[in-house]
Chain A
C-alpha cells in the first residue's frame, strides 16, 4: 500500500507536474480514488497490507473483490514540517 501511494505521488511530481510548472500552475493537493485489491502478507508485527489496482478491466470469479482506496495528498515545502 505504501509503495502504491508513493508511486502515485511520484507520478504527480513527474511528467504531469513538470507540465503544470511549465505553465506557472502549482498543484496544492491531489485526491485519488481508485479500486484496489487487498491482500495480507505475514502475521503479527510482520504483517504487510498489499493493495494494488486490479490487473484486468473485466472481473472474473478468480479475481479478488475490489475495494476502494482514497488518498488525499497536500503540497508542502520540502524540509518544512508537515502541514
Chain B
C-alpha cells in the first residue's frame, strides 16, 4: 500500500490509470477471442471522481487520496477518453532520441537550475536549439517575462551551450604536398563553428590560423613552437574551452640505428627476439649451481 499520507505525482497517477485501461482492454479482447464472440466492447471513455488532496511541490502537482473520515478532501474529476493514433501524433510532444546536434536543455548544466529548466519546459522549450531560435526571433524578453528568467540569464545559458567543446587534438597526417613541410593540428569536438565562423584559437596566448573548419573539426596551421601547450578555443571570451596538448613528434633515433632497427636479422623469428638489460651480467656457465 502507498505509505499513509504520502502523495503521488499526477503524472504517475495518469500513467497508472492508462496502463490499467490498456490491460482492461486487452483482457476484454482476449475474452472475446477465447469465447469466439463476434462482438466485444471497447472502452470509449471513463470518468473518475477521486476524493483527494491536491498539493503543489516544486512545480509538480501531486495528489493524495483521502483517508477514512477525511471530510475535507477535494473532488478531483478526471476524464480519460480513447483517442486514435493520428490524434496521439498530433498532440504528443515530439519525442526524439538524444541528439548531439540538438541537445536538451539539461545539457546547459548548472547555467540554469532545475526550477528554471522546468519553467522553460512548460512553454515548450526543451532543447538548446529551440532556446536559440527564440533568441534569434527576438523573443528573449517575452520568454524572460513568462518564465521570470532575465535576458542576461538566458544569454549566459546560451553562451554556455554554444561554447566550443574539444574531444581530441592530434597532428594531421593528411597534409597535401604543398603543406607537407608545415605541421597541421586537427581538433575534433563540437560547436567549433558559430554563425558559420570558426572559433578563435590561441596556443600559449598566440593566435593560430584556421585552415579548414566544420562544426566538429578544425584544422590548424600552428607555428613550429606551437605544437604543445595550452590551447584556448572560443567564440565568446566569457565561455572558452581550454585544453592542454602535446603534438610534438617523438625524438627520432639516429639514422644508422634506425636503419638497423628497420632491417631485422633474417635468422631471427619473433619468438627468438629477447631484450637484455645491459646492466645484468650473466654468470659463467661453468660455475655450477649457486650455493
Contact = CB atoms under 8 A, between A and B. Distances in A.
A73 B20 contact: no
B48 A64 contact: no
Contact of B38 (A1, A3, A6, A77): A77
B31 A47 contact: no
Instruction: Say whether chain B's binding surface is mostly helix, strand, loop, or mixed.
Output: mixed
Interface in A41-60: 41-45, 47-49, 51
Contact of A62 (B31, B38, B68): B68
A10 B20 contact: no
The 9 A-B residue pairs whose C-beta atoms are closest, nearest first, are: A2-B20, A2-B24, A40-B2, A73-B41, A65-B51, A6-B27, A70-B47, A68-B49, A2-B23
A41 B2 contact: yes
Contact of A69 (B38, B46, B69): B46
A68 B51 CA distance: 9
30 contacts: A3-B27, A5-B46, A6-B27, A6-B31, A9-B41, A13-B32, A13-B37, A29-B44, A30-B41, A38-B51, A39-B65, A41-B2, A43-B6, A45-B12, A47-B2, A49-B13, A64-B65, A64-B68, A65-B68, A67-B50, A71-B45, A72-B45, A73-B41, A73-B44, A74-B41, A75-B39, A75-B41, A77-B39, A78-B39, A79-B33
Interface of A: 1-3, 5-6, 9-10, 12-13, 26, 29-30, 36, 38-45, 47-49, 51, 61-79, 82-83
Instruction: Say whether chain A's binding surface is mostly helix, strand, loop, or mixed.
Output: mixed
B46 A78 contact: no
Contacts of A49: 13, 16-17, 20
Interface string B1-23: 11000101000110111011111
Contact of A72 (B12, B24, B44, B70): B44
A76 B42 contact: yes
B40 A68 contact: no
Given A13-B32, A74-B42, A47 B13 contact: yes
